Amino acid sequence: MKIQTNRRNLLLTAGLIALIAAPFLTTNNYQLYILNILGIYILLNIGLNISIGYCGQINLAVAALWGFGAYVSTLLTVDLGINFWIALPLSGLITAVLGGLIGLPSLKVRSHYLAIVTIALAGIINMVLVNEREITRGAIGIMHIPSPKIFGFEIASEFHYYYFILVMTIIGYLFARFIIDHRIGRNFIAVRDDYVAAQAMGVNTAYYQILAFAISGLYAGIAGSLYAHKINYVSPDIFGFHSMMLILTMTLIGGSGNINGSVIGAALVILNESLREFEDLQLVLYGTAVVLIVLFFPEGLVGLFDRIRQWLANRRKKIPVSEGTP
Amino acid sequence: MKFGGLTAVDGINLQLKRGSIHGLIGPNGSGKTTTFNMISGYYKPTSGQILFEGEKISGKPTFKITRLGFARTFQNLRLFHSMSVLDNILVSMEHLARLKLPELMFNPFSVRREENSFIEKGRQILELMQILKYENEPATSLPYGLQRRVELARALATEPQILLLDEPAAGLSTTEADTLMDIIFQIREQGVTIFLVEHHMRVVMNVCEQITVLDHGRKIAEGDPQTVSSDEKVIEAYLGQEKEMEKC
């Protein structure tokens, strides 16, 4: 046990050093930009994963919630002059509330129908963003969103923003880990596995379903705020259906039901995006990969690793059936 | 209880005595499962009510009924397949938990403490069921007989006043059924009232103090095992079924 913990700590420290050193290894600003976007997508993925992967609640409104969070943070800072450091958590909270409201239909419909309902609600959010021109400036978007300032220092360049996003992503990951590993996570999985049995065991499944949606809203809101204040511009079309599909693909590829999968999935898809030069070939590879993974590895890449590990472990021990009779 | 035009259960009057072991039997289609589901809160009776200590519980959401002290097992075993045996048990302690959401999200220390106390309790129950050594195995990887025990342990973990067992002896061998009977008596020792639906006559006759017999949705007999097994109407209800089956 001791050896394993030490090895794990070693890996973690190495990983941390690699993350801190990463910007120095990049050769141009575009690569840094990709890393920053990656961080934001990781957060979005973790939120989506908690809802779909752990609680089994299909939430296809995450991209729209991301946009909503971005706009909330923008309007708070630009129109109301509120400090970024207050706007950030506030956007998270307000988007969490909206996320929870979007979760209400999940009490009545499940699975495919829930997917359709959340897509519809996402569409509504987008329409509001486009049409409420007086508040949101409509399709033109909002420019000159201020960058965050800390002790007078402006976090504006890709390089500086990287560390900011790195910290937020690590916090986001640890927070998700904490929730998943304890009572909330357990109840989520119970709802996903068998909500009838969960209710029979005294779990208020409605409460946890809404909570799952709210948490995905929280992550989307924070991600939105980070995004808006990074590129200093928001417009409704960034957060549409194609973004949602991108995020969903990341979760599927990486593995739903496992937040490590969120990291892997986001990384792979972003890598794929940066191979744009290969155009048609890229699309073919991408599409093939998605189909293969959905068909053969529904738990994603993380699931693949787990399966291999499990298979190895099972070969060593088997519970004899005779033990079933005392 | 009516399902559309079909009256599954008609005018049943049933009383559970605290601390007793009460059985519900009857030929297939007699309305046992329907009655069971009404008592456990799955169905809302179309007429009549279920009272617990004078309070009406029929029509309440299932999880609230569980929190009032009712626990049930499922005939078809609805274990949480993604979880270990221990985690399955821990889910049941949900309604015993005291921490509210803000603490759950931001206070690792109290969360740790609460979790540890639940794990303690969970292990005690697993010990009672003699399955402690499987605590980390995925629940559905166990052989059937052991899975049944996990199902039972899970219901016990809710610290119920009334335990509703849905055909607990189904699919069990003779020795397994004997263990089940021992476990049921042990549970009763702890002051839990037990209500079971069962086909396995040996178990019913040995374990139950009171037996209610249903046929075609109506109560046809009630009493202790002696009385019931020698009741003419009961014998006819079961034999009648046999005759019908012979015709096929």
pLDDT (tens digit, 9 = 90+) per residue, A173-232? 999 999 988 889 999 999 999 989 999 998 999 999 999 999 999 999 999 999 999 988
Taking residues A158-165, what's their average pLDDT? 88
Same domain, B202 and B169: yes
What is the helix (H) or strand (E) element at residue B109, kind and residue range? helix B108-128
| Closest approach of B222 to chain A, Cα-based (Å) | 28
The CATH number assigned to the domain holding B41 equals: 3.40.50.300
- Helices A84-102 and A205-231 pack at an angle, to 10 degrees, of 140
Same domain, B128 and B166: no
Same domain, B169 and B238: yes
Confidence band (pLDDT; 50, 70, 90) for A326? Answer: very low
pLDDT reported for residue A64: 94
The dihedral built from the CA positions of residue A49, A52, A54 and A57, taken in this order, carries a sign that is: positive
Q: What residues are paired with B166 via a beta bridge?
A: B197
Contact call for B94 and A187, based on CB within 8 A: yes
What is the helix (H) or strand (E) element at residue B162, kind and residue range? strand B162-166
List of residues 6+ apart from B153 with CB closer than 8 A: B85, B88, B89, B125, B126, B128, B129, B131
Same domain, B165 and B62: yes
- Inter-chain contacts counted by CB atoms under 8 A, chains A and B: 109
Contact call for B97 and A183, based on CB within 8 A: yes
B213 pLDDT above the threshold of 70: yes
What percentage of residues in chain A have a pLDDT greater than 70?
89
| Closest approach of B225 to chain A, Cα-based (Å) | 27
What is the helix (H) or strand (E) element at residue B106, kind and residue range? helix B101-106
Domain-located, residue B75: no
Nearest residue in chain B measured CA to CA from A201 = B92
Asked if the C-beta of B62 comes within 8 angstroms of chain A's C-beta atoms, the answer is yes
Domain-located, residue B80: no
Q: Which of A183, A192, A324 sits opposite B104 (nearest CB)?
A: A183
What percentage of residues in chain B have a pLDDT greater than 70?
92
Phi-psi region of A154 (alpha: psi -120 to 50; beta: other; left: phi over 0): beta
Domain-located, residue B223: yes
pLDDT reported for residue A324: 44
- φ, ψ of residue B19 to 5 degrees: the values are 80, 5
Contact call for B66 and A197, based on CB within 8 A: no
- Nearest Cα residue to A87 out of A102, A72, A100: A72
Taking residues A20-42, what's their average pLDDT? 83
- Nearest Cα residue to B72 out of B35, B123, B118: B35
pLDDT reported for residue A43: 93
Domain-located, residue B211: yes
Asked if the C-beta of B107 comes within 8 angstroms of chain A's C-beta atoms, the answer is no
Interface TM-score (ipTM) > 0.95: no
Domain-located, residue B82: no
Q: Domains in chain B: how many in total?
A: 2
Cβ atoms B207, B184 nearer than 8 A? yes
Confidence band (pLDDT; 50, 70, 90) for B239? Answer: low
pLDDT reported for residue A4: 63
In angstroms, how far apart are the furthest CA atoms of chain A? 74
DSSP output for A173-205? HHHHHHHHHSHHHHHHHHHHH-HHHHHHTT--H
Please state, in angstroms and rounded to a whole number, the distance separating the CA atoms of residues A211 and A30: 37
Confidence band (pLDDT; 50, 70, 90) for A322? Answer: very low
Residues of A in contact with B66 (CB under 8 A): 199-202
Asked if the C-beta of B149 comes within 8 angstroms of chain A's C-beta atoms, the answer is no
Please state, in angstroms and rounded to a whole number, the distance separating the CA atoms of residues A227 and A46: 16
- Helices A62-78 and A84-102 pack at an angle, to 10 degrees, of 150
Contact call for B87 and A186, based on CB within 8 A: yes
- Provide the residue range defining the domain that includes B119: 88-144
Same domain, B171 and B48: yes
Nearest residue in chain B measured CA to CA from A175 = B105
Asked if the C-beta of A196 comes within 8 angstroms of chain B's C-beta atoms, the answer is yes
- pTM score over 0.95: no
**Burial of residue B81 (number of CB atoms within 10 Å: 0-12, 13-18, 19+):** middle
A2 pLDDT above the threshold of 60: no
Please state, in angstroms and rounded to a whole number, the distance separating the CA atoms of residues A70 and A236: 10
Domain-located, residue B154: no
Other beta carbons within 10 Å of B151: 25
A320 pLDDT above the threshold of 60: no
Contact call for A201 and B66, based on CB within 8 A: yes
